[in-house]
Chain A
Amino acid sequence: MRISVRNIVVAGALSAVAILLGATRLGFIPFVLGVSITIMHVPVIIGAVLEGPVVGTIIGLLFGLFSLIWAHVAPTGTGDIYFQNPLISVVPRLFIGLLAYLAYRLVKQPQVWPSILVLLVIIALAVVGPVVAYATPVLGGDAGLQTLVLICSLVLGTLALAGLGIVLWRRGELVAVGTAAVVGTLTNTVLVLGMLGLLSTLNWVSPPLPWEVLLAVGLTNGIPEIIAAVLITVAVVAAWKQIEFGRRGARILRNP
């Protein structure tokens, strides 16, 4: 594995930003009912987009290790009890950079036909999945599992449709960056909560959390987290690469 000096330094600087966001609580934006959503993983996405998957993974590792240590020395909320487990705080974070980078490349220089094929397969699975779950006895009529399959299919299907739209529509740099932010955030949310659910079923964390609670957390936190991550990632990358977008010029000139 070759790492350039630039890679090393950017990884170090963005890891420091991630740690700073966590320690100062700036990385947590208050949402409804005292729940905060996190944007601490945004440096990982930015690192992956600017410098590639290796840098993204290194930032993810340092961010994960930091959240593991911080969950012990300065815990602030419910989640910190679970982040004291390295399987939840470190392992999922290793994948944010890689997947965000893949999404970025895929949109920026799309291998159009293969990606359309993959997305169509995902959409087909999202249609077939609920049909199989509800109409056949595969799941043994378990209502909870059926709902889980339905919701997962809905989320996956919507995302695949959106991806299809992006691939067919245009391949601007910022669209690619935004897609990377969506995929990176989803990776963080899904893998952290999935790991938590898996360990709960195995009874490795105490107290174990039921899948329904995790699903609710995933939906209420995941969606605003995606919005915030896209907003910040696109703004930072556009400013760094000096790409103009949105309203040009000062507002005062527009209103004579």
Chain B
Amino acid sequence: MSDFEVLRTLSFGQYLPTGSILHRLDPRVRLTGVVLLALALMVNPGPAVGLLGIVLALGLLLLARVPLGHALRSLRPLLPLFAIVLALQMLFYPHRAALAAGSPLVWQWGPIVVSAASLVGALAMMLRMVAIVLLLTLLTGIADTTDLVHAVEGMLRPFQRLGLPAHELALVLAITMRFIPLLGRELERLMKAQAARGADFGRGRGNFLSRARRMLPLLIPLFLAALRRAEELALAIEARGYAGGRGRTCLVRLRMRPADFLALGIALALAALLVFLDRGG
């Protein structure tokens, strides 16, 4: 029966309203800060950076009063990937070039050589992934979807002058996040309905084409349900006189306080530190 529990696969992270210092920051600062740190981790491949990133993320999680057990549980899906990272590094890493550059040889079996540099690379990647997942858990812990949508809209607003429809993009994001659980439930119903009629999705025998065709009774109703709901929602929005972002006022006005600027400055400094630390790695 677990095959039909679509909604369970959709949850990542959880908003934890602990009212910590981080929760009280401007939502734009919360989003920008975490995204800056994550981007810095993606840019710099060194292993020391990954380690520092993990320490930073754990520190921030403590500061946000997110239980560490909750954060560490989010790391579980990463475990099988570590084996793949290791295998890929061994297969495709340019070992001979690394050895020629002075990296010590770790293991040799016939034509297969494994250089120390490849293992350092694999370790760095794993550390970086752990750090980024911890940061994302932090973000979902300190910002709920409303915060995120407000933050995205606020951050895109400067680009409005260039013709970017900031408010509309934020609304798309809000609708997407609202539609995911809705369509998830719809999909669950469709799967059960088709299974009751003897359908068998993706698994089972048959060549690729017949397997793809067997997905159609599930995919077409799913797409049509999405489009039909979209149509209804568009009508409902227009019926209420919505006219886009121009001249629209908000109940909650975001204003940056000194503490927000300070936090943003700290996030920038930390991101810069991560980018420029240990560039050689």
Contacts and interface: CB of A to CB of B under 8 A. Distances in A.
A128 interface: no
A28 B224 CA distance: 20
A209 to B, nearest CB: 6
A253 interface: no
Given A1-B163, A37-B208, A207-B92, 11 more contacts: A8-B172, A15-B176, A17-B222, A29-B211, A29-B215, A43-B223, A73-B136, A77-B84, A78-B88, A206-B125, A235-B216
Given A9-B230, A72-B129, A240-B227, A81 B81 contact: yes
B10 interface: yes
Contacts of B169: 58
Contact of A12 (B175, B202, B224): B175
Contact of A24 (B182, B187, B231): B187
Contacts of B201: 26
Contact of B175 (A8, A31, A206): A8
Interface of B: 6, 9-10, 12-13, 39, 42, 45, 74, 77-78, 80-81, 84-85, 88-89, 91-94, 118, 121, 125, 129, 132-133, 136, 163-165, 168-169, 171-180, 182-184, 187, 201-203, 208-209, 211-213, 215-216, 218-220, 222-224, 226-227, 229-231, 233-234, 237-238, 242, 244
Question: What's the dominant secondary structure at chain A's contact region?
Answer: helix
B180 A72 contact: no
A144 B168 CA distance: 48
A31 B208 contact: yes
Residue of B121, B136, B226, B233 with highest tally of chain A CB at under 10 A: B226
Given A15-B176, A84-B129, A3 B92 contact: no
Nearest to A70: B12
Given A8-B175, A228-B212, A74 B77 contact: yes
B168 A3 contact: yes
Contacts of A117: none
Contacts of A31: 208
Bin chain A's interface residue count.
35 or more
Nearest to B79: A75
20 contacts: A9-B175, A9-B230, A13-B226, A14-B230, A15-B176, A15-B179, A16-B177, A20-B180, A26-B187, A29-B215, A74-B12, A78-B84, A86-B42, A206-B89, A208-B92, A227-B209, A231-B212, A232-B219, A232-B220, A239-B224
